[in-house]
């Protein structure tokens, strides 16, 4: 039930403006939809094109980045309900290029929950794979629809995962740990392509998810949003200031399932209504059974403190509400999709600027709709000093090959534990013997220490990823 009032709406919109100012976000779009698919709130902050000062509306195309993983999971669950796949099937049954030679059997459900047991690996970029094959957009068309590119990308990704070994790239057995694996979802999208009866993952999603919901301006395309007059320019902060591009291939994965989807506020409201109705679209079209949706949102493995990863989605507590969500981040993309069956509402936040804390905006919007103070109560942490042994074990450098520029250094200075992320010093509080919190202006991030059987810290958990200790 909509409980938005003037007071909490003012606080919410002031929060968005503060985040926009501090992050340099060029454009932020927010909408709330109810179970009937009716818009309960919608507002646009900033513009889609800073230089031309062009406004946004519900048809403006934004990148979704990792929100794409929810589309992959939905596709896999559809194929399971049709009897084509089983969640217990080995991935290698459908992707023989992935020999799984150094790891116990990785099953489909392991990749769906990021629990296959791999530390992050170097990103396989679609531009690089296309170049190796001599494929160009001018000659061959949009990369999202080229079968040869998908096949070669699969070989490269599978080869890299197969090269991981115990003590060097493997965390543990499948199911033991949760560590974000973009390549796992890339291989899942290739399973959808091979088993779904369509020549590309993009076409499967279009036929089986987008068309039934009337999501006409959404898809995995790269060329279409670049040419569309109502598509957002992608902005990121550089040494030279805020730079914009229309290159939707920038930093994009070779396999579509890792983060290729683009959409609009108008289209994503339709998707949210479907999830709020447990798989049934606004016109009664059913994409997945109620049991299938419940399986997607069921907690599978610990993600962050008091948060669990499901299948292409995660779940957490927001005050007394249970919220299902997923975020996304790429060049010029900050996105967040969330809904709550308790509140009977869903929230979509799309932004055309990198590294904007849009999850804080989504949480505030959900609180506003539910009649709460949108700002909530920032968690108060009681500092608990780490023991001398923990300090000694924790200090060092941590980094995943996927994003070495975002490596973490933990060090001791004047008796306190400090954290440096990249080149930036971060405000850090140790709150239990193996957990610390990086305090952010809009939300907080947790660092968790992971210990091995010999009593040594071998990795940290940060941002959903496990990052191995380098020294």
Q: What is the pLDDT of residues 2-44, one digit of tens each?
A: 889 999 999 999 999 999 999 999 999 999 999 999 999 999 9
Tell me, yes or no, whether 370 and 395 share the same domain.
no
pLDDT, residue 471, reads: 63
Average pLDDT of span 61-73: 98
Tell me, yes or no, whether 22 and 108 share the same domain.
yes
Contacts of residue 347, defined as CB under 8 A and 6 or more positions apart, other chains included, come to 30, 31, 32, 272, 336, 337, 338, 339, 362, 365, 366, 369
Start-to-end Cα distance in the chain: 53
Of the three residues 377, 411, 446, the one that is the final residue of a domain is 377
Residue 188 within a domain: yes
Measured distance CA(102)–CA(167) in Å, rounded: 11
User: pLDDT (tens digit, 9 = 90+) per residue, 271-283?
Assistant: 999 999 999 988 8
Of the three residues 377, 410, 429, the one that is the final residue of a domain is 377
Residue 402 scores a pLDDT above 80: no
Burial bucket for residue 139 (CB in 10 Å: 0-12, 13-18, 19+): exposed
pLDDT: which is higher, 208 or 1: 208
DSSP string, 354-368: SS--HHHHHHHHHHH
Count how many domains the chain has.
Answer: 2
Of 409, 383, 379, nearest in space to 395 by CA:
409
Range of lowest pLDDT (73-87, 99-113, 198-212, 426-440): 426-440
- pLDDT bin (cut points 50, 70, 90) of residue 379 is low
Tell me, yes or no, whether 322 and 204 share the same domain.
yes
- pLDDT bin (cut points 50, 70, 90) of residue 240 is confident
Measured distance CA(399)–CA(406) in Å, rounded: 7
Of 268, 269, 311, nearest in space to 293 by CA:
311
Residue 31 within a domain: yes
pLDDT, residue 305, reads: 80
Considering the chain, what is the average pLDDT of its residues?
A: 94
User: Phi and psi (nearest 5°) for 178?
Assistant: -100, 120
Distances (CA, A) of 257 to 67, 142, 291, 364, 394: 10, 16, 23, 29, 34
Tell me, yes or no, whether 224 and 294 share the same domain.
yes
Tell me, yes or no, whether 272 and 172 share the same domain.
yes
Average pLDDT of span 228-249: 92
Tell me, yes or no, whether 172 and 298 share the same domain.
yes
Residue 383 within a domain: no
Tell me, yes or no, whether 16 and 133 share the same domain.
yes
Residue 382 within a domain: no
Tell me, yes or no, whether 160 and 179 share the same domain.
yes
Average pLDDT of span 259-267: 97
Residue 200 within a domain: yes
User: pLDDT (tens digit, 9 = 90+) per residue, 104-158?
Assistant: 999 999 999 999 999 999 999 999 999 999 999 999 999 999 999 999 999 999 9
Tokens (6 digits) for 130? 């296309």
Tell me, yes or no, whether 235 and 370 share the same domain.
yes
DSSP string, 277-318: TTTB-TTS-BSS-HHHHHHHTS--EEEETTEEE-SS-EEEEE
User: pLDDT (tens digit, 9 = 90+) per residue, 431-461?
Assistant: 998 999 998 888 888 999 999 999 999 999 9
Measured distance CA(145)–CA(199) in Å, rounded: 8
Tell me, yes or no, whether 237 and 177 share the same domain.
yes
CATH (domain of 431)? 2.40.128.50
Of the three residues 377, 409, 431, the one that is the final residue of a domain is 377
- pLDDT bin (cut points 50, 70, 90) of residue 405 is low
Residue 68 within a domain: yes
Measured distance CA(325)–CA(389) in Å, rounded: 37
% of the chain residues with pLDDT over 70 = 98
Residue 193 within a domain: yes
3-state secondary structure of 90: strand
Tokens (6 digits) for 119? 């530390």
Tell me, yes or no, whether 358 and 447 share the same domain.
no
Taking residue 439's Cβ as centre, other Cβ atoms within 10 Å add up to 14
Which domain covers residue 9, as residue numbers?
1-377
Average pLDDT of span 312-338: 96
Tell me, yes or no, whether 12 and 69 share the same domain.
yes
The dihedral region occupied by 251, where left means phi > 0, alpha psi between -120 and 50, and beta the remainder, is: left
CATH (domain of 346)? 3.40.710.10
Residue 17 within a domain: yes
């Amino acid at each position: 039930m909509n409980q938005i009032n003037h007071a909490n709406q003012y606080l919410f919109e002031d929060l968005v403006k503060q985040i926009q100012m501090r992050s340099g976000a060029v454009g932020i779009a927010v909408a709330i939809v109810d179970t009937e698919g009716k818009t309960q709130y919608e507002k646009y902050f900033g513009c889609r094109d800073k230089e031309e000062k062009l406004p946004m509306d519900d048809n403006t195309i934004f990148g979704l980045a990792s929100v794409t993983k929810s589309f992959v999971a939905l596709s896999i669950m559809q194929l399971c309900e049709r009897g084509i796949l089983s969640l217990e099937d080995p991935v290698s049954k459908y992707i023989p290029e992935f020999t799984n030679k150094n790891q116990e059997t990785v099953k489909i459900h392991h990749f769906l929950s990021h629990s296959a047991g791999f530390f992050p690996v170097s990103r396989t970029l679609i531009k690089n794979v296309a170049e190796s094959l001599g494929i160009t957009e001018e000659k061959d068309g949009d990369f999202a629809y080229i079968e040869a590119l998908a096949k070669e990308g699969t070989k490269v990704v599978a080869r890299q995962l197969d090269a991981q070994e115990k003590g060097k790239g493997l965390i543990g057995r499948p199911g033991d740990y949760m560590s974000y694996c973009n390549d796992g979802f890339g291989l899942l999208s290739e399973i959808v392509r091979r088993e779904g009866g369509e020549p590309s993952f993009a076409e499967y999603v279009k036929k089986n998810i987008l068309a039934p919901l009337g999501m006409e301006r959404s898809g995995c395309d790269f060329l279409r949003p670049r040419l569309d007059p109502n598509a957002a320019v992608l902005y990121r902060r550089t040494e030279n200031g805020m730079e914009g591009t229309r290159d939707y291939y920038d930093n994009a994965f070779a396999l579509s399932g890792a983060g290729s989807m683009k959409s609009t506020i108008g289209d994503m409201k339709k998707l949210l209504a479907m999830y709020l109705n447990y798989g049934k679209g606004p016109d009664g079209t059913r994409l997945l059974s109620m049991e299938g949706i419940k399986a997607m949102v069921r907690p599978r493995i610990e993600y962050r403190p008091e948060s669990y990863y499901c299948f292409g989605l995660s779940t957490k507590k927001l005050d007394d509400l249970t919220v299902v969500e997923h975020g996304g981040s790429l060049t010029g993309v900050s996105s967040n999709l969330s809904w709550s069956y308790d509140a009977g509402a869903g929230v979509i936040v799309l932004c055309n600027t990198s590294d904007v804390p849009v999850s804080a905006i989504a949480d505030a919007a959900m609180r506003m709709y539910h009649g709460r103070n949108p700002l909530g109560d920032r968690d108060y942490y009681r500092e608990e000093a780490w023991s001398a042994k923990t300090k000694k074990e924790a200090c060092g450098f941590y980094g995943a090959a996927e994003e070495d520029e975002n490596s973490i250094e933990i060090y001791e200075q004047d008796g306190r534990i400090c954290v440096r992320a990249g080149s930036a010093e971060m405000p850090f509080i140790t709150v239990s013997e193996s957990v610390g919190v990086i305090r952010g202006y809009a939300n907080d991030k947790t660092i968790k220490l992971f210990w091995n059987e010999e009593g040594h810290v071998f990795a940290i958990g940060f941002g959903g990823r496990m990052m191995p200790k380098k020294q």
